[in-house]
Amino acid sequence: AQSVTQLGSHVSVSEGALVLLRCNYSSSVPPYLFWYVQYPNQGLQLLLKYTSAATLVKGINGFEAEFKKSETSFHLTKPSAHMSDAAEYFCAVNPSSASKIIFGSGTRLSIRP
């Protein structure tokens, strides 16, 4: 069965520091992988999406994620955190067009001034 695990329900970094949010997945076939962001009192919006075209995927707001098949990981990074990055981040996996997308439990990112 497919699943996705986000390590750390809460991550806190200083403004200007590196952001690293971890996501590991299990899938029997190369999946589609997503990162969504949810700002306070809003719905989710797509940050970036991996579709097997390139292992390093660039998203909005300076975020990027790297697909590592050997590690079954799709970690999200940003070189320099900004206060506006404070939000909840969800990793999601979908192994095939006929399967439902599966969301991780989310990681809340806090930014310290």
Partner 1 sequence: DVKVTQSSRYLVKRTGEKVFLECVQDMDHENMFWYRQDPGLGLRLIYFSYDVKMKEKGDIPEGYSVSREKKERFSLILESASTNQTSMYLCASSLGNHQETQYFGPGTRLLVL
Note the residues at the interface with partner 1 (CB under 8 A). 9, 32, 34, 36, 41-46, 49, 51, 90, 94, 96-101, 103-106
- Which of 28, 97 has the CB closer to partner 1? 97
- Which of 55, 96 has the CB closer to partner 1? 96
C-alpha 106/C-alpha 8 separation (Å) is: 8
Nearest distance, CB of residue 103 and partner 1, angstroms: 4
- Which of 80, 96 has the CB closer to partner 1? 96
* DSSP conformation letters of 40-99: TTS-EEEEEEE-SS-SEEE-GGG-EEEEETTTTEEEEEESS--GGG-EEEEEEEESSTTS
Nearest distance, CB of residue 21 and partner 1, angstroms: 14
- Which of 28, 113 has the CB closer to partner 1? 28
**How many whole angstroms from its chain centre is CA 80?**
16
Nearest distance, CB of residue 64 and partner 1, angstroms: 17
Size of the chain in residues: 113
